[in-house]
Structure formats: structure tokens, C-alpha cells
Structure 1
Amino acid sequence: MRTAHCVDTVRTAEAALMARLPEGALMQRAAAGLAAACADLLGRVYGVRIALLVGSGDNGGDALYAGARLARRGAGVSAVLLAPDRTHQGGLAALTGAGGRIADDPFAVLATADLVLDGIIGIGGRGGLRPDAIPIARAARGSNAVIVAVDLPSGTDADSGEVTGEALRADATVTFGTHKPGLLIDPAREYAGTVRLVDIGLDAELPSIPAVEALQHEDVARLLPRPSAESDKYRRGVVGVVAGSARYPGAAVLAVAGALRGGAGAVRYVGPATEAVIARFPETLVHTGPPAKAGRVQSWVVGPGLGEGIGAVPEILASDAAVLVDADGLRQLDPEAVRGRSAPTLLTPHAGEAAALLEVAREEVESARLASVRELARRYGATVLLKGSTTLVADPDPSVAVRVNPMGTPWLATAGSGDVLSGLAGSLLATGLNARDAGSVAAYLHGLAARRAAADGTPITSWEVGEGVRGAWGACVLGGRT
């Protein structure tokens, strides 16, 4: 499990650790890890040209001390000081003592650099780059150098993942002690490049519950349902799918495809697309409706492709089964009906649907994904899976870590992929997983299936994603990396 902690938590943990260490020891640990990461990226150190973009405070100090270590190994290191009167003096002395220099012409230095260390703004920065730093950042990005961010790309928000001004996009980020939420959540994640975590001994000082966490293969494998010797199709759970319409019969087929691969023992389909569903999946139990007469289920999936047939949503929300609401089912959703449920409820909007539920512009959701998913979970008293470039799963309890899905591929932006995800998550709900685990595991398997299907760089269909869930499930159980 990858975990991320907010700035205040990191600051408190660092202070506790520094109180037990010699002065400056923690910064030296960070600088050593940073210098080693740069050396790995470069492949060699002797003779390379390195530019340090140095802001005020400890972030700039980390860059200077790392630069000193690289200078002692034969690199030509030049420091561009963006706040000369507030530069970390110990770091600057270490750099010049190791043979590094202060750049007279920052643009000339950047034009010939092999690597640029971005130490402009640390994790406490807010609101993008300052105007005087923007030309320097643009010159760095326009060069042929590899750009490495120190702890966090300058101009991005560590806690929220928001980018509210201009930021410096990195090829790699070396972060210290723990991930920061902004390194895992878009849009800031897009600026981070490849992220490397340097252990500086902070683990013992950090709280056990992070702000954000990301599942990995072994975490998913631990959560996956497994039938016992005494299992039958009913004990394994039955998922009901209310989806599709005369206009969108494919939504029903794709939702059932996901449901059949999510571990439940049986799938009941309720709706007008019974012929299309049976033609593709003869094992499905079908009923024309209403849902209350279709038979007992442990979970309902309602919404994909319903069109105007959203009248089933209140009936399903009034049931005592776990419920997943997606797509058309989210239209005119009554917060009171959701908050009043005692059974698990999972809402799975994309950014546009989330914006409608929150009554804000879509751009506001996309720029503040973490705040948006938390607000939706609070407002509806339900678990919310916010789909997008980084899928977020938020529990209505704000003290519970938000889960971010690290899997996926841009090729998932294709019609019907959300229908497969809904069926898959609903099936996992039927097996007994809680809403947060069902949503998180489904998003992971869905993304991994898509990544495997698109491994050759070619477009994929939602059908192929559904077909690939079995292989993704097996990859997690076997513990392999794909």
C-alpha cells in the first residue's frame, strides 16, 4: 500500500524526528537520497552539467546539499538563486565548498544543462509559481535537460493535487519520508513524472491512518473474495443489474459483463434488454421487472443506459441490499433517500455527473478532485467513486483515507467502460465487500485489465476491458507486476 500524508502531518513528524537527531541530519538524509536518485537517472555523474533552481527555505537547501554531493563526484553544478537574500546558507556554503558555483546567467546555464533540480518551492507552497520564477521554469522546461522535482513539482499543491497557477512539470520527483497527496492525484500528479520515495526515517512518527492511500497488487489480492468448499451460487452472492433501454441495450450487456467477472455467484438482469443480455450471457437470470419481483439479491447496480427509465432508482434505494448508482441513475438523485439507507451505498459519477450533483462547473471538479469527492461523500452520506484520470474513492467518514487508483490508461476513455466498472463493483458488493473496498478493488482490476489490453499501444474497447478482468484478477493473486 502506498500512503500519502498532508503537509501539517509531515511537518509534525519531521519536528519529532529532528528533536532526536543531530542538527541538520534529516536534511542530509534527504540530500543523500536526492543525489543518489539523480545519479541513477543520469547513469553517470562525472562531467555532467547540473543546474539547481533554488528557492528560499529547506527545499532549496535540499537541492544545494544534493548539488554539493554531485559536485564532489565530478559534476559541473551551477545554482540559480531565485531568492538570494533568503537562500539556505549552509547548503550554499556546502555547494561552493565542493566546487559548485552561483550562476551569473541562469538562461545560459539552463540551455546547456543535462539535469535540472527543481528546488524552487517546497511542500508548503500554494497558488503556483511566483511571476519572477515563471521565465526560469519555462526555460528549464524548454531545455533538453531531465527535470527532477525536489519533494514536489514547484507550483503544485501538496495536499490537494490542485494546480491553480503555472507549475514546473518534472520528468521525475524525489519525495522524502512519505508520498504527498498531490503526487497521487491529478492534475498535480501529471506534473510529477516518475516518483521515487526516499526513506528518511519518518515512518515511526507518522499516524497509522494517512490522508490518501493507493492499493497495490498484494492489497487487492487480500481483498478479493474466494469461495469456500461449502459455497454455492447463492452463498457467493447475487448481484442485480438494472440497466439498459431500447436506445442503449449495450449498456446492459456491458454492465452484466462486469458483474459476471466480479466474484458473485449469480447475476440477475432486470430491464428491457433481456434478449441482448441472454444472447451474450446465457448464464444470466433475467426478469422484465420491476426489481422487487426479480428475486433476492445482495446488491443492486442501477443506472447504466437507463435513459428515461430512472423510476426504478427510488425503489432500489428503498431496498435493504447494497446499492451502486451510476450514470442515468445519478440524475435527480435524492440526497435524503441516500442518507437514510442503512445498507452500503456506492455512487460512481464521472466529473460531469459529479458537477451536476454538486451544482458546480465541471472544471471545478476536475481541478479539485479530492475536495469534490470528499464533499460528495459528505453531502450524500455515501461512498463515492469519482471516475477520471485518477479514480478516487471517498468514505463518508472524513477520518477514513481516500483511496486513489494508480492503475488505468488513457485508452479507458471509451464508451461503455464505466458500465463494465459498475457491474464489476456491484458484483464485489454482492460478495460482501464494503463499499469502499468494492469500489477500490473494482477500479484497480478495471484499470489493470485496460492497461494489459492496451500494452501494445493500440485502442481498446470496453468489451476487451471486461474480458481482461479475469487476467487482471489472476495477476493480483499471483503478485506479478504488469
Structure 2
Amino acid sequence: MRTAYSVETVRAAERALMARLPEGELMRRAAAGLAAACTGLLGGTYGARVALLVGSGDNGGDALYAGARLARRGAGVTAVLLAPERAHAGGLSALRAAGGRAVGTGEARPVLARAALVVDGIVGIGGKGGLRAEAAELMRLVAESGAAVVAVDLPSGVDADTGELHGTAVRADATVTFGAYKPGLLIDPAREHAGALRLVDIGLGPHLPPAPEVEALQHADVAALLPRPAPESDKYRRGVVGVVAGSARYPGAAVLAVAGALRGGAGAVRYVGPAAEAVVGHFPETLVSTASPSKAGRVQSWVVGPGLGDGPGPQSTVDEVLDADVPVLVDADGLRLLDHDAVRARTAPTVLTPHAGEAAALYGESRPEVEARRLDSVRTLAGHLGATVLLKGSSTLVASPRDGDPVRVNPTGTSWLATAGSGDVLAGLIGALLAAGLPAREAASVGAYLHGLAARLAGPPLTASDVASQLPRAWREVERV
């Protein structure tokens, strides 16, 4: 599992570790890891031209010491000092002793134009706000040069704790981060600026708390959570999912939600709604009911909302599902019909799966505000409604209403998932995992992971049906670890 810690937590761990180490050892470890990553990107150092963009903090010191290592291996290294009088003295001395040189920003243009690799050591993890004008101009020159960019610890100009952008930020091809991931490296919009991530172990592990701020599941974590039938299992023990979805206008939403549930391991699916003919035509194994949800038969979870439409009928249906004493997932139209007080009053788990626009409507914000502050938005909405919230988007986040639970960011997926019906498949899949007995946070996280992996396996261009068809393969891929 990838775990990410706040700046305050990382700083405290660094102080605890530095108290046990010789002076400067922590920076030497960081510089060694950074230099190794740069060497890998260059494919060799001898004769390569490297430019360091050096600010006034320890981040700039890391870049200078790494530059000294590269210079000793034959690279032509030039540091562009944004604040020459405040540059890290030890790092600057080491670079010059290794044959590197340093210039001011007035001499940067020819240096950057010739560089094969640019190392961003402008601002460290404690920086706030976007790049200042001088640094932004340097990055414009870098973009013109076409050089690869490696960020030191995180791209300068992004918020390490939240992933927010408050102005211009460095867009890196790779980021070499030290000791622990920072939340901003995993969460958009900042994640898009980080490029490929490499974590350098500098010994912080024993000094970090057990609970991170953010975490990302990996194959092994998901494999450990997947429900598996026991020898004595029958379809009811495996979990029956009730799906209330679709309408005369949107019958496909019902088909896709049922597809997600069946391909997500449900023992059986009960469908309630006006799209029964379409559902059975695609999946004859579906149990169809013409009764209301409360009279449709026993289920271990409900999925309500995809393609449901508007009006008093859908409203009463959502209310009826929320009254059920089993886990409930609410998606799409169901979110617009949601009674907030009814959600807060529930004792069984509730999972809400909004995209940014739906989350904004639930919480009374604008969509741009939600997209700009994804981490804060998902935490706030989960606490506000007392439900587990899966916020869809370029980085899908899952937040529990319980204080202290790390927010989970989904590492799988592809931009091709922005296609009609993919959310319906996800809703059915998570519903199946809830019916199998997974807690809400785990069901939402595992569902998002498998859904994203299935999309990758389907390949572009894809449809929601393609994603559903690849779910069994994604499941098997995860189980192979």
C-alpha cells in the first residue's frame, strides 16, 4: 500500500531521525537517491547536460548535492540560482568542487536551451502558492527547450498536503520524493504535474505514525479483501444485490448496473424497475420483481439511482431503499433525490458515489471548487452526511465518515472511463462487494480499483459494456499476486 503523510508529519519524522544521525546525513541520502533517478532518466551521465533550478531551501540543497554527484560522473552540471545569497552553502560548494558551475537567472536561457535534464529544486514541500514570476518564466524556457524535468520531493508550486494548485506550478516528467509520499503527489490536480513517482527510502519509516493522511491500495491489498465463496456457500450466502435503476428513457442504466453486480461476484441480483425486459434480455439469470423494493425479496445490499429519472415515483423509491436495514449505494439520479436527514439517520452503511458536479450540489458548492479541492471536498461531504463517499474523477477518492480513517485514492483507471454508463457499472460492482460483506470503505475502494483495472484491460476506445466484460479478468489479475 502506498501511504502519504502531511508536511507536518514528515517534518516531525525528519527531526526525530536527524537527532540520531550525523549532521547532513539525511540530505546526503536524499541526494544519492535523486542522482540515481536522474542517471536512470538520462540513460547515463557522461557528457549529459544537466540544469539545476535552485531555490533557497533544503530542496535546493538536495538538488545541488545530487548535481555534484552527477558532475563527478561526467555530466555537465549548471545550477541556476534563484536567490544566490541564500543558496545552500554546503551544496553549492560541493557542486563547484565536483566541476559544476552556478549562474544567476539572467544567464539561464542558454543553460536551459542546452539541457537534456532539468532538476526542479525551486520550492520544497513547505511552499505555499504558485510559482513566482521569475520561476514561472524559467519553467516557460524549460518547456521551450523540450528537456525532461525531474522534481525534487514534489513539483514546485503544488500544495503538498492537498494536491491543490494556487497558480503556476512545475509540470514534471518524474518526481523523486523522500521518506514518504505526500498527499499532493497522489491527488489531482497536482498529481498530473508529478509525472512518474519514485520514493527514496531515507529511513523515516520508524518515525512515521501508523495512520497516514492518504493511502492507495495495490494489488496485494485488494487481493486480501476480495470475497471468495466457501465450500458451503450458496447464492444467498455469496450475497444478493438489489438493483433499482433504469427507466423508460434510460433502460441501459439498469442493464449496466446489473452487469457490474453480476461480474462483481454477486450470488444473485434482484432487479426492481421498469427495464426488466432489457435486463433479462441481457442477463437471464437476473431475478426480476414487479413489487416495490421493500417487497421484492431478501437482499444483502441495495443499489439505487442509475437512470432512475425524476418525479414522485423515483423519489419515493429512493426513500424506501434508504429505509432498508442493509448497506445501500446511491448513485446518479438517486443523489439528486437524496434526503440528507434520512442518510444521517441510517444505521446500516451508506455509500454515495458522486462526480464533482453531484458532490457540489450535495454540499452547496460549485463544481470548480470541488475539483480544485478534491481532498477537502470528499472529507467534508463524508462527515456532513455521515456516509462513505466515493468522489469520481481523474483521481477517485474514497472517504469514510469516521475521523482518523485515511482517505483512499484509487491508483487504477484511465481517462477513457469518461464514457456514458461507466458509473452504472461501478455502482453495481460496489453493491456486489457490499452484499458479500465488505465494509463500506473497503467495498468502495476495491470496487474503484477493479473498475479502473478493467478499463485498462479493455483498452481504448472503450464503452461501459467493455469495462463490465473485463471485470472477471481484472479480478483474476489481482488474485495472481
After TM superposition, is the score higher than 0.5?
yes
Q: How does 1:362-441 map to 2 (within 5 A)?
A: 362-441=367-446
Cα deviation digits, residues 408-441 of structure 1 (max 9, x gap)? 0111100000000000001100000001000000
TM-superposed CA distance for 1:313, in Å, is 1.0
CA positional deviation for 1:197:
0.5
1:133 Cα deviation from its structure 2 partner: 1.2
**Alpha-carbon offset, residue 333 of structure 1:** 1.8
Partners in 2 of 1:334 and 1:155 — Cα distance? 40
Q: Distance in 2 between matches of 1:415 and 1:268?
A: 23
SS, match of residue 310 in structure 1 = helix
Structure 2 SS opposite 1:50: strand
Match of residue 224, structure 2, among 207, 222, 225: 222
- Is structure 2 residue 472 aligned with structure 1 residue 467? no
CA separation in 2, counterparts of 1:153 and 1:31? 16
Aligned with 1:200 (options 195, 199, 202): 202
Structure 1 residue 57, shift from structure 2 partner = 0.8
Cross-structure match for 2:241: 239
The match for 1:88 is: 88
- Indicate whether 1:68 and 2:68 are aligned: yes
The equivalent residue for 2:258 is: 256
Q: Distance in 2 between matches of 1:27 and 1:237?
A: 53
DSSP-derived class of the 1:408 partner: coil
Aligned pairs (5 A) from 1:139-154: 139-154=141-156
In structure 2, the partner of 1:191 is 193
- Per-residue CA distance 1:203-252 (angstroms, 9 max, x = gap): 11111111111111111110000010110111111110000000000000
**Unmatched runs of 5 consecutive residues or more in structure 1:** none
Partners of 1:11 and 1:201 lie apart in 2 by 13
Residue pair 1:324, 1:348 contacting (<8 A) in 2 also? yes
- Which residue of 2 is the match for residue 271 of structure 1? 273
The corresponding residue for 1:108 is 110
User: Separation in 1 of the partners of 2:322 and 2:255?
Assistant: 22
Distance 1:141 1:53 in 2: 14
Contact 2:257 2:306 in 1 (8 A): yes
Q: Find the aligned partners of 1:142 and 1:297 in 2 and give their Cα distance.
A: 59
Letter in 1 for 2:197: V
CA contact (8 A) 1:141 1:147 kept: no
User: After TM superposition, what 4+ stretches of structure 1 lie above 3 angstroms from structure 2?
Assistant: none
- Counterpart of 1:117 in structure 2 is 119
The 5-angstrom pairing of residues 166-185 of structure 1 reads: 166-185=168-187
Q: Read off the aligned partner of 2:452 and give its amino acid letter.
A: G
Q: Secondary structure at the match of 2:237?
A: coil
Structure 2 residue 452 is matched with structure 1 residue 447: yes
Determine the structure 1 residue equivalent to 2:298.
Answer: 296
Verify: 1:38 aligned to 2:22, yes or no: no
User: Higher mean Cα deviation, 333-342 or 40-49?
Assistant: 333-342
Partners in 1 of 2:398 and 2:371 — Cα distance? 15
* One-letter code aligned to 2:394: S
- Say whether 1:129 aligns with 2:134: no
Q: Following the alignment from structure 1 to structure 2, what is the Cα–Cα distance between the partners of residues 278 and 137?
A: 57
Q: Give the aligned residue type for 2:92.
A: L
Q: Give the aligned residue type for 1:97.
A: A
TM-score (norm 2): 0.98
Length, aligned pairs only:
476
Give the deviation of 1:297 after TM superposition: 0.7
More deviation, 391-400/249-258 = 391-400
Displacement, 1:334?
2.1
Deviations 1:152-183 (A, max 9, x none): 00111111011110001000000001111111
Structure 1 residue 332: Cα displacement: 3.7
Contact 2:318 2:337 in 1 (8 A): no
The amino acid that maps onto 1:376 is L
* Native 8 Å contact 1:303 1:328 kept in 2: yes
SS of alignment partner, residue 220 of structure 1:
helix
Counterpart Cα distance in 1 of 2:205 and 2:140:
36
Match of 1:339 in 2: 344
Question: Where do 5+ consecutive residues of structure 2 fail to align?
Answer: none
Distance 2:117 2:331 in 1: 46
How many Å separate the matches in 1 of 2:449 and 2:291?
A: 32
d(CA) in 2 for partners of 1:91 and 1:152?
A: 19
Aligned position for 1:348: 353
Moved more, 308-317 or 181-190: 308-317
Q: Is the 8 A contact 1:348 1:384 kept in 2?
A: yes
Separation in structure 2 between the aligned mates of residue 288 and residue 41 of structure 1, nearest angstrom: 61
Structure 1, residues 63-111: CA drift from partner, whole Å, max 9, x if none?
Answer: 0000001011111110111111211111111111111101251111000
Aligned to 2:23: 23
CA offsets 1:293-339 (integer angstroms, 9 cap, x no match)? 10011100000000022321111111101000000000142221111
2:327 aligned partner: 322
Instruction: Check conservation: 1:126, 1:155, Cα contact below 8 A.
Output: yes
Residue number in structure 2 paired with 1:282:
284
Q: CA deviation at 1:44?
A: 0.8
Using the aligned pairs only, state the percent identity.
71
Residue identity in the other structure for 1:176: F
* CA distance in structure 2 between the aligned counterparts of 1:475 and 1:236, rounded to whole angstroms: 21
Shift, 1:194, TM fit: 0.4
Superposition RMSD on alpha carbons, in Å? 0.8
For residue 377 of structure 2, what is the amino acid of its counterpart? S
Kept in 2, the 8 Å contact 1:335–1:379? The answer is no
| 1:376, distance to aligned residue in structure 2 (A) | 0.5
Cα pair 1:161 1:183 within 8 Å, conserved: yes
8 Å CA contact retained: 1:157, 1:163? yes
